Chains A and B, each alone.
Chain A
Amino acid sequence: AQKVTQAQTEISVVEKEDVTLDCVYETRDTTYYLFWYKQPPSGELVFLIRRNSFDEQNEISGRYSWNFQKSTSSFNFTITASQVVDSAVYFCALTPTRGSTLGRLYFGRGTQLTVWP
């Protein structure tokens, strides 16, 4: 069974604060991919990152960084110096690499991030 938990339902910060969005997952598969998507009020899901379970290197892209820790089954997302445009719902998702669940994205419930000016 695949499960993704985003325990933070809503987070509010003031502009320029750093914020970390948590993602914890459960899977029996030894290989899988993890994703983060951003969904602004307009509705489109915007792809942010895809990470192979074999690759535990942290990644940084501008103000965004991701911390993947297989030992704790977590794939956390940090936004540094947040901006109002970062306000959105952020989804963490997992897809296995084999079996009948191949091709399915298992989403967490999402975290609503609000950045105040």
Chain B
Amino acid sequence: DTEVTQTPKHLVMGMTNKKSLKCEQHMGHRAMYWYKQKAKKPPELMFVYSYEKLSINESVPSRFSPECPNSSLLNLHLHALQPEDSALYLCASSRSGLAGGTDTQYFGPGTRLTVL
């Protein structure tokens, strides 16, 4: 079973709203990732958690705040977003922590975010 789940599937929010994206995996994977994908572009890495610790932050604006409450769950808290932040947000997980960073990343179905 290589399932990563993400909620919600779609999200529309205003620029003053606060919302959260949720990602869950029950494969015992120790690395979890957030990606942002704009239309007709490849995914862009935002954050990597390895063993529940933030290991990589790709200079993402502070209006995006990741959280890893436990090894199965990854959240992305959104606040004061801009319309250009509208995109598909993908979560992924891989078996090992970053020391095994060549493991296959398994992706969730994504959350389509629209910022008005």
Contact = CB atoms under 8 A, between A and B. Distances in A.
Interface of A: 32-33, 35, 37, 42-47, 50, 91, 95-97, 102-105, 107-110
27 contacts: A32-B102, A33-B102, A42-B109, A43-B90, A43-B109, A45-B90, A45-B92, A45-B107, A47-B2, A47-B106, A50-B104, A91-B42, A95-B101, A96-B102, A97-B101, A97-B102, A102-B101, A103-B31, A103-B50, A105-B45, A105-B105, A107-B42, A107-B43, A108-B42, A109-B41, A109-B42, A110-B41
A50 B82 CA distance: 36
A95 B102 contact: yes
A102 B112 CA distance: 28
A95 B102 CA distance: 6
A96 B104 CA distance: 12
Interface of B: 2, 31, 40-43, 45, 48, 50, 55-56, 88, 90, 92, 98-99, 101-102, 104-110, 112
A19 B109 CA distance: 26
B74 to A, nearest CB: 15
A69 B101 CA distance: 23
Nearest to B101: A103
Nearest to B105: A105
B72 to A, nearest CB: 19
A103 to B, nearest CB: 3
Contacts of B102: 32-33, 95-97, 102
A102 B90 contact: no
A33 to B, nearest CB: 5
A47 B1 CA distance: 13
